[in-house]
Chain A
């Protein structure tokens, strides 16, 4: 996870400061855990709510 985060960080153009790496890694892991079910959800044929309207 940490290696992947370093690569992501480099690719995004933001190098995570060494002293904040653990903090950002913990937050990233939390987000990844939260979003796992979304990644696994079948959205075949569904269009995104790009310009969102409530009806």
Chain B
């Protein structure tokens, strides 16, 4: 049995994003946006 306090800790959600999957998706989308920006940056100046 996992104590209630521990369960609450493990299930606690992040601020702003609402849920952890949304936070992870934000990281992935941020990364994609970075790569796209870097790509256009490379193209623009090379």
Q: Are the chains A and B members of one assembly?
A: no
List chain A positions with a Cβ less than 8 A from chain B: none
